Amino acid sequence: MAIKKVSLITDGSCLGNPGPGGWACILRFGGAKKELFGYDPHTTNNRMELMAPIQGLLALKEPCEVEITTDCEYVRKGITEWIIRWKSLGWWKKDWSVRHADLWIELDELTEIHRTTWLWTKGHAGHEDNNRCDWLAQNAARTQTSSFPDGSPHAPLRHALGADYVPPRPQASLFEE
C-alpha cells in the first residue's frame, strides 16, 4: 500500500507576547480539507507556532508523507536544522535549556512517525491556506475557542510535559580531562 501524501498548513498567533494565543492548521488529502484550531490563555507566539504543526500531525491516523507549510522560520529551521544539536546536547544550549523543549520533543517524535518536508511561505502574502490559518489562529486567540467538540484547547499531547518543563541537565562524561 502506498503512503498517503498530505499537505499541512500551519500558523500561530498571540495577542501580546506573552498573552492569549491561538493556533490553527489545515490538512489536505486528495479533495478533503480539515481545519483545526485551538487556544492557550497565557502563552507566547512561538509556542502557538509550534502547537499548530503538532496538532496537525497528531490528527493523522497513520504514518503519511506530509508537506508542511509554515510562515515561521523559527519552527522550520528549528525542526530541520537546530534540533540535531539540541538533541545531541540533551535539549540544552550551553547553560540553559532549549526554550519550549516540551513542544520540540513532541514535534520531533511526530516527525519520526511521518515523512515530513518543511516549506516556508511569507505570511500575509497571498498563500490562501496560510491566510486562512492566520485568521483562524487570531480568532482562536481572541475568542479562546477551539475546533474540538468538547472545547478543549488542543488534542492531548503524547508527553504532556507542560510549558514549565526543563529537561534534566546532561551529566558530564566520566572520562573528561
Nearest of 18, 61, 46 to residue 155 by alpha carbon: 61
Angle made by CA atoms 97, 116, 55, in degrees to the nearest 5:
65
- Among the listed residues 22, 40, 71, 102, the single catalytic one is 71
Question: Distance (Å, rounded) from C-alpha 40 to C-alpha 20?
Answer: 6
Can 12 be counted among the known catalytic residues? yes
SS3 22: strand
Which of 73, 124, 151, 159 is catalytic? The answer is 124
- 30 annotated active-site: no
Whole-number Cα distances in Å, 160 to 5, 88, 100, 103: 28, 22, 12, 9
Catalytic one of 11, 40, 106, 129: 11
Is the separation of the CB atoms in 165 and 102 below 8 Å?
A: yes
Active-site residue 49, yes or no?
yes
Non-local CB neighbours of 80 within 8 Å, separated by 6+ positions: 118
- Segments of 62-113 assigned E as strands: 65-70, 92-93, 96-97
Residue 134 known to be catalytic: yes
Annotated catalytic residue: which of 38, 40, 49, 78? Answer: 49
Amino acid at 113: I
Q: Please give the positions annotated as active site.
A: 11-12, 49, 71, 124, 134
